[in-house]
DNA sequence: TGCTTGACAGAAG
DNA sequence: CCTTCTGCCAAGC
């Protein structure tokens, strides 16, 4: 039995560039007052197992600061460790946080069709 | 080449 | 709810 995945398991340099561009494009389309998750972005970009790469891309790609990357949280609604300003930015656009400090995902999760 | 480190996800205790 | 562990995979050392 061949255990083939429905997506490639490793990226070529060119695929990595395509992935990065897709991630940045998706992030740029997140509406005000909404958030999405690393895993969701990775899946939309065509690499479902690369959620960690999404975070890496946003953190280290020059120019990502000009995108609404504060609207990216983990699937539980937790904000990025060591970036307290993220919560501030989200609250400014009306995103509600629960008592446990997580984003209320039921109200603010954005999932494009 | 091999081990460690994460802006993750999910499960376990 | 919180911490820790495992699986994941590119990057750094």
- The pLDDT tens digits for A41-84 are 999 999 999 999 999 999 999 999 899 999 999 999 999 998 98
Cβ of A102 near strand B (under 7 Å)? The reply is no
Nucleotides of C under 7 A from a protein CB: 1-2, 7-12
- The pLDDT tens digits for A87-110 are 999 999 999 999 999 999 999 999
Whole-number distance in Å between A76 CA and B11 C1': 14
In the predicted model, is pLDDT for residue A8 greater than 60? Answer: no
Q: Which nucleotide is nearest to A80 (CA to C1')?
A: B7
pLDDT of residue A4: 44
DSSP one-letter string for A13-58: HHHHHHHHHHHHHHHHTPPTT-BEEHHHHHHHTT-TT-HHHHHHHH
Cβ of A82 near strand C (under 7 Å)? The reply is no
């Amino acid at each position: 039995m061949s255990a083939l995945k429905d997506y490639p398991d490793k990226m070529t340099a060119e695929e990595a560039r395509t992935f990065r561009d897709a991630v940045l494009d998706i992030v740029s389309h997140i509406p005000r007052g909404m958030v999405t998750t690393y895993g969701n972005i990775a899946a939309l970009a065509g690499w479902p197992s690369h959620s960690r790469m999404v975070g890496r891309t946003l953190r280290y790609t020059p120019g990502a600061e000009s995108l609404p990357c504060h609207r990216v949280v983990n699937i539980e609604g937790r904000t990025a460790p060591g970036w307290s300003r993220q919560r501030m930015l989200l609250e400014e656009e009306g995103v509600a946080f629960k008592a446990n400090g997580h984003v209320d995902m039921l109200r603010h999760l954005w999932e494009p069709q």
